[in-house]
Amino acid sequence: MTQPLRLGIAGLGTVGAGVVKIIRQKAALLETRCGRPVVISAVSARNKGKDRGVNLTSYAWEDNPVALAQRDDVDVFVELMGGSDGPAKAATEAAIAAGKDVVTANKALLAHHGQTLAETAEAAGRVIRFEAAVAGGIPVIKTLIEGLAGNEITRVMGVMNGSCNYILTRMEDAGLTYQEVFDEANALGYLEADPNLDVGGVDAGHKLALLATIAFGTKVDFNAVELEGIGCITIEDIRQAADMGYKIKLLGVSQMTGRGLEQRMSPCLVPATSPLGQLDGGTNMVVLEGDEVGQIVLRGAGAGMGPTASAVLGDICDIARGLRIPTFGQPAANLAVAPAAVAATPAPYYLRMTLQDRPGALAKVTKALGEAGISIHRMRQYDHDAENAPVLIVTHKTSRRDLDAALAAMTNLDDIQGTPVALRIESV
Amino acid sequence: MTQPLRLGIAGLGTVGAGVVKIIRQKAALLETRCGRPVVISAVSARNKGKDRGVNLTSYAWEDNPVALAQRDDVDVFVELMGGSDGPAKAATEAAIAAGKDVVTANKALLAHHGQTLAETAEAAGRVIRFEAAVAGGIPVIKTLIEGLAGNEITRVMGVMNGSCNYILTRMEDAGLTYQEVFDEANALGYLEADPNLDVGGVDAGHKLALLATIAFGTKVDFNAVELEGIGCITIEDIRQAADMGYKIKLLGVSQMTGRGLEQRMSPCLVPATSPLGQLDGGTNMVVLEGDEVGQIVLRGAGAGMGPTASAVLGDICDIARGLRIPTFGQPAANLAVAPAAVAATPAPYYLRMTLQDRPGALAKVTKALGEAGISIHRMRQYDHDAENAPVLIVTHKTSRRDLDAALAAMTNLDDIQGTPVALRIESV
């Protein structure tokens, strides 16, 4: 164990350059903690000439990450390129085939191909670690696989896209519309090149699928994640929710139900006084519930060079210290296939709609709800001009199926303008 | 690695019985996760005949925990007896000498003897794991040693005694005095047999000393922890603090300063809107700050059968999975000896005192502060009857040394009744 652990780092963007910097600056500390030196043998990126603010001259350079992954002087392939397919996938596969362990920050790669990659790695006796792929600097993968190994996990929740939480917080604080804050965030470079990855919930959905696999011992099934973005949220929703003691968060929730595995990523109302409700700005939070431990809440930076590099280094140190655990905490080949339980768990819902201000309009809406078996907990009509009456309804607990039936019935009403907004009220 | 991991469990109180139950109920799950069976070979407790609600007939019984620790059919000695000395210490030493790994929930044992035990264990190639000793079900030891291995830790903070946090929360919610809530908590069995372990900060101080050792790579030095209990806190302090936007918490803080290692366990004011300020009731919270990751907040149950057993099981699973890391994350023999930096980091302070209502009294107090070089940020005199004037002062940042000089000067004043209360305002 006193042999150095030799890394090949592919991808030298913000995170990659950060990892190189830390390994250079903290060589002595890492050696003390790991009981052996952690060294970089070689690196790879698209543009060799670019100044990354870190001295790379002592490392071999590979233009091709696949060649990097196959080098004899590399024990661990550190994949920080990103992208669910293309070079990241090819190089990760090559690394495993060449007998290397893998550390990756790539949630898209693992959400789409993690099942196959994990099975291949385990058949070859290699480990894949991916702490940086979920919730940035928060060691949630380690907590779930290792710290809570004595628990049946009953529910996993998380606010895992800092950009969305920033947008929702900023709308509330500044009283701006979704579009105004979206444009602002985009201009500041807070959003992915394809903003739907953020605001559509895709990025956070990738993370949820990985957490669900670990928590419930099921095969990775990103396609079963019910995705709903935050584009439907208005400042009015945020204010009405606040008035009732709630905050709106893009919340991922996964739990095992009698009908299968539920994986939802959608804007939800959570109590303003709960840890999730109190989470402002770009910070991430993951809530893990186990039958023994109760509720564990983890909070920290979900992105950025330092936090992400911290997570990558944690994985590297684990491997250096000899930790060898299957990718998802148990053999990937034996993970269960769980049916997708769409909208299985009942909940109260927040509904907002705009009615034509004419006699009987509201009666038709309440009738549609009643016929779907949904009862009303509270209702208010507010702020209305001559033409339109905004109406807000909070239902008692209902299944999403019944709610969808009611919403479908409402859509046929002339009296409703546009599409009603329906947000789940999650009990946290 | 498919050999069963064989446990000897000493101590069958709430936690011990809980661990036995979980291992029986979750045998298949644990085997799947660990890649090998986890089995109990033998148990030990003071009273063999007692009904613990769990079937022990399939395990060998040892009256003497030392004999249990030395059994050939035991790989891991699980110490759940408690107590800093006596049988817990003797049996742990015997286990290490007999070549066993150790899992313990015993903060007092480790705070007092952890340095020696860790050195002995490491010389013998054995591991000691103690997740359950700090903050109950929260995997903070794992997070600090493993998850944040790539960080220089800059500060560790924690509310780690649920009983104290319960008392302070209950005083505020019910408007009761410290003594009333103390008596209530004692009657409910919330406090240790020696309540000073809780309200005097000793128990939480044990935990802080262990966190500091890991965070800063220094030898365990519980005697250097500055301990201050919550007995001085009045409902008036809680209300005045709330009025200024603060909560009072028994807060542990450790950080490395230019003058050495600071370890403080004392009631502090923290912003009411911070995660620490929002922590009500018996829940624990640990805040870890690293140079790369920024701030990580962990929240969960700090005591109770399920949470504590969860932590013990996490350690057992780690050993079953082959994780072998030095007790404090780096070789114990090489841990640094750091001078104790008493009251090193300056902070603003909250001062409350009762003045005789006569001319010049307040002037003498402000003079004492001024002569110690302490400037006043805000001051209020309130609610006063004919005789006594309660005065509240918030200082600007000052060293505790200067503050103590000012307090000493005040003590000599006839105009002050009793001893002024001085609480640090911690920036979190």
Interchain contact, B314 vs A147, CB within 8 Å: yes
Could you tell me if A191 and A171 are in contact, meaning their C-beta atoms sit under 8 angstroms apart?
no
Q: What is the mean pLDDT of chain A?
A: 95
Residue of B31, B336, B321, B304 whose CA lies nearest to B213: B336
**Main-chain dihedrals φ then ψ at residue B284, nearest 5 degrees:** -105, 155
**Does the pLDDT at position B400 exceed 80?**
yes
B228 annotated as a binding-site residue: no
Residue the block writes with tokens 């509201």? A362
Q: Is A48 a catalytic residue?
A: no
Residues 139-168 of A with CB under 8 A from B: 139, 142-143, 146-152
- A137: nearest CA in chain B? B293
The Cα of B317 is separated from the nearest Cα of chain A by a number of Å equal to 7
Domain boundaries in chain A?
5-104, 140-301, 349-425
The Cα of A333 is separated from the nearest Cα of chain B by a number of Å equal to 12
Interchain contact, A298 vs B293, CB within 8 Å: no
CA distance B30 to B158: 31
| Side chain identity, residue B365 | V
Residue of B89, B100, B142, B207 marked active site: B207
Q: Which CATH number fits domain A140-301: 3.30.360.10, 1.10.10.10, 3.40.50.300, 3.90.320.10?
A: 3.30.360.10
Average pLDDT over residues B130-134: 98
Residue burial A153-180, b: 16+ Cβ < 10 Å; e: rest: bebbbbbbbbbbbbbbbbbbeeebebee
Residue of B81, B161, B140, B136 whose CA lies nearest to B306: B136
Interchain contact, A317 vs B149, CB within 8 Å: yes
Closest in B34, B138, B217 to A296, CB measured: B138
What pLDDT does residue B411 have? 84
CA distance B421 to B392: 10
Residue A289 sits at the chain B interface (C-beta within 8 Å): no
Residue B271 sits at the chain A interface (C-beta within 8 Å): no
Give B48's DSSP letter.
T
What pLDDT does residue A359 have? 83
CA distance A421 to B156: 44
pLDDT: is A368 or A385 the higher one? Answer: A368
The gap between the terminal CA atoms of chain A, to the nearest Å, is: 44
Interchain contact, B295 vs A301, CB within 8 Å: yes
Average pLDDT over residues B294-318: 97
Helices (H) and strands (E) in chain A, counts: 14, 16
- Chain segment A167-200, per-residue pLDDT in tens: 999 999 999 999 999 999 999 988 988 999 999 9
Q: Is the dihedral of CA A357, A358, A362, A364 positive or negative?
A: negative
Residues in chain A, overall count: 428
Angle between the N-to-C axes of helices B27-34 and B14-25, in degrees from 0 to 180, rounded to the nearest 10: 80
Q: What is the mean pLDDT of chain B?
A: 95
Residue of A14, A211, A198, A312 whose CA lies nearest to B293: A312
- Hey, which residues does A351 pair with through a beta bridge? A393, A422
CA distance A401 to A341: 11
**Does the pLDDT at position B323 exceed 90?**
yes
Domain covering B147-301: architecture: 2-Layer Sandwich (3.30)
Annotate B338-357 with DSSP letters as a single string: --B-TT-S-B-EEEEEEEES
Fold of A349-425: Alpha-Beta Plaits (3.30.70)
Interchain contact, B150 vs A330, CB within 8 Å: no
- B317: nearest CA in chain A? A149
A364 annotated as a binding-site residue: no
Annotate A96-130 with DSSP letters as a single string: HHTT-EEEE--HHHHHHHHHHHHHHHHHTT--EE-
**Does the pLDDT at position B256 exceed 90?**
yes
Residue A330 sits at the chain B interface (C-beta within 8 Å): yes
Pairing type for strands B388-395 and B416-425 reads: unpaired
What pLDDT does residue B384 have? 64
Give the long-range contacts of residues B191-197, CB within 8 A, separation 24 or more: B191/B163, B192/B163, B196/B229
CA distance A165 to A178: 12
Could you tell me if B83 and B50 are in contact, meaning their C-beta atoms sit under 8 angstroms apart?
no
In this structure, the number of other CB atoms found within 10 A of the CB of residue A336 comes to 11
Residue of B271, B297, B302 whose CA lies nearest to B286: B297
pLDDT confidence of A381, banded at 50, 70, 90? confident
Interchain contact, B299 vs A139, CB within 8 Å: no
Residue B129 sits at the chain A interface (C-beta within 8 Å): no
| Side chain identity, residue B276 | L
- Chain segment B189-231, per-residue pLDDT in tens: 889 889 999 999 999 999 999 999 999 999 999 999 999 999 9
Residues in A touching B275 (Cβ below 8 Å): 275, 278, 299
What pLDDT does residue A384 have? 65
Interchain contact, A310 vs B150, CB within 8 Å: yes
- Chain segment B150-177, per-residue pLDDT in tens: 999 999 999 999 999 999 999 999 999 9
Which residues lie closer than 8 Å to B269 by C-beta, 6 or more apart? B241, B244, B246, B247, B248, B350, B423, B424, B425, B426
- Chain segment A239-297, per-residue pLDDT in tens: 999 999 999 999 999 999 999 999 999 999 999 999 999 998 889 999 999 999 999 99
Residue B297 sits at the chain A interface (C-beta within 8 Å): yes
The Cα of B208 is separated from the nearest Cα of chain A by a number of Å equal to 19
The Cα of B118 is separated from the nearest Cα of chain A by a number of Å equal to 15
Angle, CA of A139, B279 and B421, to the nearest 5°? 125
- B38: nearest CA in chain A? A150
A11 annotated as a binding-site residue: yes
Residues 347-406 of B with CB under 8 A from A: none
Residues in A touching B325 (Cβ below 8 Å): 321
In this structure, the number of other CB atoms found within 10 A of the CB of residue B89 comes to 20
The Cα of B33 is separated from the nearest Cα of chain A by a number of Å equal to 5
Average pLDDT over residues A335-346: 90
Closest in A143, A312, A329 to B33, CB measured: A329
Interface test with B, best of A142, A278, A310, A319 (most B CBs within 10 A): A310
Q: Does domain B5-104 have CATH number 3.40.50.720?
A: yes
Q: Do domains A140-301 and A349-425 have the same CATH topology?
A: no
- Chain segment A116-145, per-residue pLDDT in tens: 999 999 999 999 999 999 999 999 999 999
B16 annotated as a binding-site residue: yes
Residues in A touching B292 (Cβ below 8 Å): 18, 22, 137, 306-307, 309-310, 313
Residue of A89, A100, A207, A249 marked active site: A207
A210 annotated as a binding-site residue: no
Closest in B137, B217, B323 to A294, CB measured: B137
